[in-house]
A = this chain, B = another copy of it.
């Protein structure tokens, strides 16, 4: 029997996860809108046998004179294009439930799952950003509880649409002229608090049954939604203890929805800077941090914690953010992350703080040799803290290449990461069950 294997995602954020990656002489920032750049990264990921390419999404970001801010292409368009130039890797795009319609979302991911032969995943999020609301005619964003209630119903409708025309409904008998088995077509007739949807999707159920559902919520409502519907959770933890607590908490919620612990893979983010020696890795990190100018560092930190720090001295003490945020509806997850980092690392000044946040953005930061990085990943993987990781390279493609060339072989040598793709779909590669069409099943058993 083979050892349990790590699930690995490559979280793509161009030109890198480090906030100052654009100033690194090796990043080609002007290429972030080029398909050739994205294709190169996808191909490196497939060489490294990554299971998944992950694209986050947030829009309406402020444009700062001295930062790479507010520039990124639509992730749905990106993964659609990458479906054509990749063969094995999963393709995850983030799409908010706050400013979309279930029909459009169901339709886009169904199409991507078909065109990629079963490699699509939807990262379900809610919009917590005031500036996103302004782009959609609202003066402020939805309150936290309402966002999650809407997300819950949204996912429910999307799943109904995905199963509205079962693949098996397609008889397509040219001779007799019969096309559909109408018993396997289930018109959606949904009337809920947020959505009223009547009709069918215009695509049959997809190669994966339906696309994989990913989520990132760590709040109480987020964890409950994940336990009910998510198949992958992307999350942010700094310490083994916190990650274990979250892992047990969420896995423990699955049974009440009739699900098994392996039906949901928990993949925390890991920001990794690797080099052959520890000194070299640390020097790379320091060099990137040196590119952060104080105005950008403070702006970045202000945005992260939701608290305006622009008038603070960056070499002065760190103020108490708790309860001070603009957005009082949002649980203080990020404030807690910051607090944890400040305490654990003994940080004193705002400059120290933003140097510790601006790379990994609150995710776990691992800087060291291939062995050191592998040790840290393995520790979480073997101690009920993670089923895998969403890897966050500091720069693309250089920092990502380093990970593929140095860390992946070390994980493979330890027998905890595959050397070849096992399945053809993302679902198969992650070891997730294929969902059954609930409408057809109930019709048959009736």
Show the binding face of A for B, using Cβ within 8 Å: 22-25, 29-30, 33-35, 38-39, 59-61, 63-74, 76-78, 80-85, 99-101, 103-104, 107-108, 110-112, 114-117, 131, 134-137, 165, 170, 172, 174, 177-180, 182, 185, 195-200, 202-204, 291, 293, 296
Beyond A64-B180, A84-B35, A104-B100, is A74–B111 a contact (Cβ under 8 Å)?
yes
Q: List 23 A-B contacts (CB under 8 A).
A: A33-B204, A35-B115, A59-B103, A59-B107, A60-B202, A63-B165, A64-B180, A66-B178, A70-B165, A71-B165, A71-B204, A72-B202, A77-B111, A77-B112, A81-B83, A81-B84, A82-B84, A84-B84, A99-B101, A99-B104, A104-B104, A131-B199, A137-B197
Contact A174 B81 (CB under 8 A): no
* Residue in chain B with minimal CB distance to A39: B84
Contact B74 A108 (CB under 8 A): yes
Nearest chain B CB to A351 CB, angstrom units: 16
Q: Could you list 5 further interchain pairs (A-B, Cβ under 8 angstroms) beyond the known A74-B107, A103-B135?
A: A35-B116, A63-B180, A74-B111, A78-B80, A100-B104
Complex Cα gap A293–B204 (Å): 24
Which residues of chain B have C-beta atoms less than 8 A from A70's C-beta?
Answer: 165, 200, 202
Which residues of chain B have C-beta atoms less than 8 A from A179's C-beta?
Answer: 22, 64-69
Contact A177 B114 (CB under 8 A): no
Complex Cα gap A292–B30 (Å): 53
Which residues of chain B have C-beta atoms less than 8 A from A83's C-beta?
Answer: 35, 81
Which residues of chain B have C-beta atoms less than 8 A from A112's C-beta?
Answer: 77
Contact B29 A172 (CB under 8 A): yes
Contact B99 A59 (CB under 8 A): no
Contact B65 A182 (CB under 8 A): yes
Which residues of chain B have C-beta atoms less than 8 A from A293's C-beta?
Answer: 177
Contact B81 A136 (CB under 8 A): no
Which residues of chain B have C-beta atoms less than 8 A from A38's C-beta?
Answer: 115
8 tightest A-B contacts by CB? A80-B80, A84-B84, A77-B111, A33-B114, A73-B111, A137-B196, A134-B198, A74-B111
* Residue in chain B with minimal CB distance to A24: B174
Complex Cα gap A39–B182 (Å): 31
Contact B180 A73 (CB under 8 A): no
Contact B204 A78 (CB under 8 A): no
Chain B CB within 10 Å, residue with most, of A81, A116, A185, A195: A81
Which residues of chain B have C-beta atoms less than 8 A from A63's C-beta?
Answer: 165, 180, 182, 185, 200
Contact B80 A199 (CB under 8 A): no
Nearest chain B CB to A265 CB, angstrom units: 25
Contact B81 A202 (CB under 8 A): no
* Residue in chain B with minimal CB distance to A190: B137
